[in-house]
Amino acid sequence: MTKTLFHILNGPNLNLLGQREPEIYGHHSLDAIEASCQKWAENHDIALLARQTNSEGTLVDYIQNAAEDASALIINPGAYTHTSIALHDALAACKIPKIELHLSNPHAREPFRHRSFASSVVDGIICGFGAHGYILALEAAFGLTHGQTSGQKS
């Protein structure tokens, strides 16, 4: 039997977690966050593919790959959240459950961060919980893929 596969995609500058503005993004490295996610996935019999890129086109490719072989997608688009129509369109075409994730709360930050091009085409948004947000996103994706939450858009 094939395990359920979730993809976690991370956008620009998230490779600098733990170094870049730790007062905003926390002290955990992306490697540490991914290790925590892998442990959660193993405990829930989920296969996990985690990727990070600073390239918008590569992130679009990753979304399209997830649409083909994953059961759910968790994405932290980083700054592309506020700028990328290409990510919006890729996410809109991706018909699996999708969770948008942010370490900080963009709505409590600079006004340019209040707009998300991803939010209207995902099933849910988790923000402001730091590194723990990744576990919350995994739990939400698990619920969506196992019929425990509806993911209905209003």
Q: Is 102 designated active site?
A: yes
Q: Which residues of 98-133 are buried (b: 16+ CB within 10 A; e: fewer)?
A: bbbbbbbebeeeeeebeebbbeebbbbbbbebbbeb
- Reading across the β-sheet that carries 46-52, which strands appear in turn? 46-52, 4-10, 72-76, 98-102, 124-127
Look up residue 40 and give its DSSP letter: H
Cβ atoms within 10 Å, residue 64? 12
Among 7, 25, 28, 62, which one carries the catalytic annotation? 25
Among 7, 28, 88, 102, which one carries the catalytic annotation? 102
Catalytic residues: 25, 102
